[in-house]
Amino acid sequence: MRHIRHLIGLGLMAAALGTACLSPATAQRFHPFVNGSFERGPQPGGFVTLAAGSRAIYGWVVTRATIDVIGGYWRASNGNISIDLDGTPGAGAIAQTFATAPGRRYVVRFDLSANPQCGPAVKQMRVAAAGYSGRYWFNSAMTQTPNMHYVRHRFVFVARSYATTLEFRSLDPDGGNCGPVLDNVSVH
């Protein structure tokens, strides 16, 4: 029992030192996870580049460099839109903050592929939420347009507060144009 109280105390201390600890009333400002296939946003014929700070994709914000919203270059795994995390140019990132229940375990599922049109051959990305993170990669030699051979992945985190930010970030070198391709994100 003392061990559990110690862990709870450490969690409260972490919250006091910078992890946002929101009340249920504050959490009402956040929505449940939305738009995991990026369909509510730009509908480009080929692609459109979004810079850091852009909120053009409903529910999401570009948090680093640039990303490309892909329409007609290749098939999305779900719907018509996918995201190349390496914009034109830049190793970018996107994030969404949504309502969560502290202490609850969440499973994030997403489809990953890679833009085969330029290097590096192996595209890498990081998924992060609530202090948890995971690295994922995809070899672009396994893809070709229009069939992107998406692979379904999962990432698990335990919420620390009433709102959690989920981020997908390219780990490719800065300045690249062809990165990890993301689609069909869900949180349960």
Please give the average per-residue pLDDT across 113-126, as a whole number.
94
Residue 148 structure tokens: 């992107």
Sheet of 163-170, strand order = 61-64, 93-99, 163-170, 122-129, 132-139
Give pLDDT tens digits for 131-186. 999 999 999 988 888 789 999 999 999 999 999 999 999 999 988 899 999 999 99
58-104: per-residue pLDDT in tens? 999 999 999 999 998 899 999 999 999 999 999 999 999 999 999 99
User: 2 falls in which pLDDT band (50, 70, 90)?
Assistant: very low
How does pLDDT run across 3-35, given as a tens digit for each residue? 433 333 434 333 333 334 444 544 457 789 999
pLDDT band, residue 50 (cuts 50/70/90): very high
* Global pTM value: 0.85
- Assess whether the previous peptide bond of 24 is cis (omega < 30° from 0): no
* CATH of the structural domain 22-187, one choice from 2.60.120.260, 2.60.120.10, 3.40.50.1110, 1.20.140.10: 2.60.120.260
